[in-house]
């Protein structure tokens, strides 16, 4: 390696799990993702509509304000994280949220040197 | 048998029933009309099974209930301990207080939901629409009128007045006057001041003035007047009361409405980064009220002599009137709640409908929200009255009596009173609905950077320290100078060094603080310790404490990040 050169490690087989839940429940989702092995999450706020408008009077029990949780995972761990977030977040209850997976082309971030070295040998 | 997938994470496979359906089969087929355009699809409403309804509602209530329980629990625990250990009351009484507090928790839950679902969107919508449809002079007029309406609608000021027993007229003649014969005039002055303060806040949005100079200017004016009043004998007694007025002036409903209005307005008038937060109206309303009350006292002192007031007080006799049905629980509380909400909302509704000719979209939710807010407020007050009665009214806070006035001088007693005051300040502030909603709004505006719970705890801690210091001031009025000057200097210093956003958050947070939870306890504490003259100002000290705490939090965050 030339002296002073920077290195870049690109990750492949990356997926994005996005989970939209009611305001206040984002932390639960992040924890569930972490428990299943995810290494990070991003949360931001949004306003949403969906089943709420179709529930009639019961719609008041669903909050309009939402939190959007983005979790980047590997393809291998995707099922586990997805399932765990679904179960912990109670997505089978009406109004509790919506989640989906998007394939990502590539990702890049800080990887500890020890980890990279494992792949050089 | 447990299933392990590739990552090694164990799924509870026995409990999950997995199936896969193509989304194609669930989405509706769209019909096209004769012109080829789409016929708008109307989604059928979803019929829920009992199990689904149960789970949906369970989550709904559980979240909101626990949201309130964690803030009312400290107060309940503290009062319970105090009753058992300090006042040595029976379990029946303690149980009664617990029941009262349960009602308070439920009331808070319902109130906060009602405000969040009805009042906030409404205020936001109106705030957003007015600047688009009318020019500044019109807005100023409406906002001013709103200030007057909310002052008379919300009973917070009346509560303050009612809590003060007959002030010894010789000691503080002008305070006595303001609270009795001059009460109506006081009401108008406060109403006008609130209106004026709100107007200043609105103009600030439009002109893009930065908040720090405005706050420091208002503070300077208020402090200047305080000094003048302090030096004028006879009027001096009004000082504590005036500052408490400022702290108390916008009640839970109004404060939330004003917040929403401000935020809505600012998104239509967006100017500069700080203004995006939409804060400042509340603190200006408070400041101008302080100045107004002080001014009124000064003016009265110049027009009416002390002797006239003292003579007049002795001449009139207060006649006891039996309480009508309207004044007994719970009708009293329900009427109070209605009075707090209806006039204000009606006023705004008229403004929206007639003057702006605006059709409000979610009128169903608005009515639902208003009903909830009224109900919540009523239950809250019933709960408070019930709990309060079981604790024995103001006697709980006859802390002097508890400690024993004979040995009142020891530092140990000071400490104990200080600690008690601190705990009361903390617990009551934490439970304030206004704080809850401000926290939610700020969390939203800063995109989660400033977490609601953290902000609430910081504010409550600040209020605790402020109340502690204020209590020292009440017990030893002669030391006032040595207490107030450092506090004020610290506050000014912190303000100067803080960023615009944090200053806005801190000061509006302070204005939000004094409401149905804090006022009865903290104010009675002040009264019990020092009487209406020396004991006044305790609320304001709590507010000052929380303002400083938030400013410190802001500085800490800034240092941390950079």
| Confidence check: pLDDT of B84 > 90 | no
With CA atoms as reference, the chain A residue closest to B52 would be A93
- Cα distance between residue B287 and residue B299, in whole Å: 18
Note the pLDDT of residue B384. 83
Note the pLDDT of residue B404. 44
Q: Which of A13, A20, A12 is nearest to A70 (CA)?
A: A20
Average pLDDT of B94-104?
Answer: 85
CA angle, corner A14, sides to A10 and A18, nearest 5? Answer: 130
Decide: B59 and A93 in contact? Cβ < 8 Å.
yes
Average pLDDT of B238-265?
Answer: 85
Note the pLDDT of residue B318. 47
Is A62's CB within 8 Å of B56's CB? yes
Tell me which chain A residues have a C-beta less than 8 angstroms from the C-beta of B368.
Answer: 60
Least confident of B48-52, B58-62, B268-272: B268-272
Tell me which chain A residues have a C-beta less than 8 angstroms from the C-beta of B55.
Answer: 90, 93-94
Note the pLDDT of residue B160. 65
In sequence order, the 6+-apart residues with CB closer than 8 A to the CB of B67 are A24, B109, B112, B436
- Which residue intervals of B432-537 are DSSP H helices? 433-445, 452-475, 480-497, 500-513, 518, 524-534
Is A54's CB within 8 Å of B447's CB? no
In sequence order, the 6+-apart residues with CB closer than 8 A to the CB of A51 are A62, A94, A95, B46
Least confident of A29-43, B308-322, B465-479: B308-322
Query: Does B330 sit behind a cis peptide bond, omega within 30 degrees of 0 on the bond before it?
Result: yes
Q: Which of B137-146, B152-161, B467-476 is the most confident on average?
A: B137-146
Closest CB to B48: pick one of A43, A53, A55: A55
Integer angstrom CA distances of residue B430 from B83, B418, B490: 20, 18, 23
Note the pLDDT of residue A71. 96
Shortest CA gap A2–chain B (Å): 33
With CA atoms as reference, the chain A residue closest to B44 would be A54
Note the pLDDT of residue B323. 44
Best to test chain B binding among A33, A55, A70, A74 (most B CBs inside 10 Å): A55
Closest CB to A58: pick one of B11, B56, B447: B56
Integer angstrom CA distances of residue B121 from B259, B342, B361: 11, 16, 10
With CA atoms as reference, the chain B residue closest to A36 would be B9
Mean predicted lDDT score pLDDT of chain A: 88
Average pLDDT of B8-32?
Answer: 73
- Cα distance between residue B307 and residue B305, in whole Å: 5
| Confidence check: pLDDT of B394 > 70 | no
| Tokens describing residue B456 | 């609430």
With CA atoms as reference, the chain A residue closest to B62 would be A61
Mean predicted lDDT score pLDDT of chain B: 79
Shortest CA gap B48–chain A (Å): 8
Least confident of A77-86, B317-326, B366-375, B446-455: B317-326
| Tokens describing residue B240 | 């504590």
Closest CB to A96: pick one of B43, B57, B59: B59
- Cα distance between residue B243 and residue B238, in whole Å: 9
Least confident of B79-93, B286-300, B305-319, B357-371: B305-319
| Residue A84 near chain B (CB below 8 Å) | yes
Note the pLDDT of residue B356. 63
Tell me which chain A residues have a C-beta less than 8 angstroms from the C-beta of B365.
Answer: 60
Q: Residue B396: which pLDDT band, with cuts at 50, 70 and 90?
A: very low
Tell me which chain A residues have a C-beta less than 8 angstroms from the C-beta of B48.
Answer: 55, 58, 94
| Tokens describing residue B25 | 């089969």
Q: Which residue has the higher pLDDT, B46 or B167?
A: B46
In sequence order, the 6+-apart residues with CB closer than 8 A to the CB of B52 are A93, A94
Residue position matching structure tokens 């917040």: B259
Decide: B76 and B98 in contact? Cβ < 8 Å.
yes
Q: What percent of chain B has pLDDT over 90?
A: 8
- Cα distance between residue B487 and residue B481, in whole Å: 10
Tell me which chain B residues have a C-beta less than 8 angstroms from the C-beta of A26.
Answer: 448
Dihedral angle sign, alpha carbons of residues B28, B32, B38, B44: negative
Shortest CA gap B558–chain A (Å): 21
In sequence order, the 6+-apart residues with CB closer than 8 A to the CB of B187 are B151, B152, B157
Is B7's CB within 8 Å of A45's CB? no
pLDDT tens digits, one per residue of B172-191: 667 767 777 777 888 888 89
Note the pLDDT of residue B4. 43
Average pLDDT of B182-210?
Answer: 86
Contact residues, chain B to chain A, C-beta under 8 Å: 5-7, 9, 11-12, 16, 43-46, 48, 52-53, 55-57, 59-60, 63, 67, 117, 365, 368, 440, 444, 447-448
Dihedral angle sign, alpha carbons of residues B30, B31, B37, B41: negative
Note the pLDDT of residue B77. 85
pLDDT tens digits, one per residue of B288-347: 998 998 888 888 878 777 666 666 666 554 444 444 444 555 677 788 788 888 888 888
Q: What share of chain B is helix, strand, coil (3-state, %, to 5)?
A: 75, 0, 20
In sequence order, the 6+-apart residues with CB closer than 8 A to the CB of B252 are B111, B115, B154, B377, B432, B433, B434, B515, B516
Q: Residue B109: which pLDDT band, with cuts at 50, 70 and 90?
A: very high
- Cα distance between residue B515 and residue B27, in whole Å: 50
Least confident of B53-57, B99-103, B532-536: B532-536
- Cα distance between residue B368 and residue B83, in whole Å: 38
ipTM of the prediction: 0.79
- Cα distance between residue B307 and residue B561, in whole Å: 61
Average pLDDT of B276-280?
Answer: 73
Cβ-Cβ pairs closer than 8 A, A with B, add up to: 68
Is B9's CB within 8 Å of A53's CB? no
Is B6's CB within 8 Å of A76's CB? yes
Half-sphere exposure of B93 (CA within 13 A, CB side): 18
Closest CB to A43: pick one of B5, B53, B448: B448
Is A60's CB within 8 Å of B43's CB? no
Q: Residue A33: which pLDDT band, with cuts at 50, 70 and 90?
A: very high
């Amino acid at each position: 390696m030339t002296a002073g050169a920077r290195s870049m490690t690109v990750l492949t087989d990356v997926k994005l799990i996005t989970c939209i839940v009611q305001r206040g429940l984002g932390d639960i989702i992040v924890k569930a993702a972490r428990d299943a092995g995810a290494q990070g999450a991003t949360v931001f706020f949004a306003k949403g509509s969906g089943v709420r408008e179709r529930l009639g009077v019961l719609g008041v029990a669903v909050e309009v304000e939402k939190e959007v949780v983005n979790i980047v995972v590997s393809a291998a761990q995707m099922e586990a994280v997805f399932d765990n977030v679904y179960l912990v977040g109670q997505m089978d209850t009406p109004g509790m949220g919506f989640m989906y997976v998007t394939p990502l082309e590539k990702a890049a971030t800080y990887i500890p040197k020890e980890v990279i070295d494992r792949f050089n040998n | 048998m447990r299933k392990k997938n590739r990552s090694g994470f164990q799924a509870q496979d026995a409990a999950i029933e997995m199936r896969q359906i193509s989304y194609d089969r669930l989405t509706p087929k769209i019909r096209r009309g004769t012109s080829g355009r789409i016929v708008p699809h109307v989604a059928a409403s979803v019929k829920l099974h009992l199990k689904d309804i149960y789970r949906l509602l369970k989550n709904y209530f559980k979240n909101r209930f626990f949201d309130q329980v964690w803030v009312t629990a400290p107060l309940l625990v503290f009062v319970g301990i105090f009753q058992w250990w300090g006042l040595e009351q029976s379990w029946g009484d303690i149980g009664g207080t617990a029941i009262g507090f349960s009602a308070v928790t439920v009331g808070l839950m319902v109130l906060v939901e009602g405000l969040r679902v009805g009042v906030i969107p409404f205020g936001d919508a109106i705030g957003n629409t007015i600047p688009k449809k009318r020019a500044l002079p019109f807005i100023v007029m409406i906002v001013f009128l709103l200030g007057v309406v909310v002052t008379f609608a919300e009973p917070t000021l009346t509560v303050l007045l009612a809590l003060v027993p007959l002030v010894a007229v010789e000691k503080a003649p002008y305070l006595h006057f303001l609270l009795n014969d001059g009460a109506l005039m006081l009401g108008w002055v406060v109403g006008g001041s609130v209106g004026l303060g709100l107007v200043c806040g609105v103009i600030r949005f439009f002109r893009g003035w930065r908040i720090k100079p405005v706050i420091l200017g208002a503070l300077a004016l208020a402090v200047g007047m305080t000094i003048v009043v302090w030096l004028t004998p006879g009027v001096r007694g009004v000082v504590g009361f005036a500052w408490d007025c400022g702290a108390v002036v916008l009640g839970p409903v109004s404060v939330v409405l004003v917040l929403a209005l401000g935020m809505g307005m600012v998104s239509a008038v967006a100017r500069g980064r700080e203004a995006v937060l939409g804060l400042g109206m509340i603190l200006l309303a408070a400041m101008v009220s302080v100045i107004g009350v002080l001014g009124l006292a000064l003016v009265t002192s110049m027009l009416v002599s002390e002797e006239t007031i003292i003579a007049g007080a002795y001449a009139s006799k207060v006649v006891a009137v039996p309480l009508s049905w309207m004044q007994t629980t719970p009708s009293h509380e329900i009427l109070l709640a209605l009075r707090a909400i209806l006039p204000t909302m009606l006023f705004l509704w008229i403004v929206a409908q007639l003057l702006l000719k605006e059709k409000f979209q979610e009128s169903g939710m608005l009515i639902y929200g208003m009903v909830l807010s009224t109900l919540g407020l009523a239950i809250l007050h019933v709960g408070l009255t019930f709990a309060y009665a079981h604790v024995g009214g103001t006697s709980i806070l006859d802390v002097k009596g508890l400690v024993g006035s004979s040995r009142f001088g020891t530092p140990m007693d000071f400490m104990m009173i200080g600690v008690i005051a601190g705990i009361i300040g903390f617990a009551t502030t934490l439970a304030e609905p206004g704080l809850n909603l401000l926290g939610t709004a700020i969390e939203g505006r800063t995109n989660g950077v400033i977490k609601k719970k953290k902000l609430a705890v910081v504010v409550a801690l600040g209020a605790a320290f402020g109340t502690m210091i204020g209590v020292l001031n009440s017990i030893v009025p002669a030391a006032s100078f040595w207490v107030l000057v450092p506090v004020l200097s610290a506050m000014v210093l912190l303000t100067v060094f803080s960023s615009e956003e944090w200053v806005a958050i801190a000061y509006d947070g302070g204005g939000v603080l004094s409401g149905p939870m804090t006022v009865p306890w903290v104010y009675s504490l002040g009264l019990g310790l020092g009487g209406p003259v020396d004991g006044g100002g305790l609320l304001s000290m709590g507010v000052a404490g929380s303002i400083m705490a938030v400013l410190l939090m802001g500085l800490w965050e800034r240092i941390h990040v950079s």
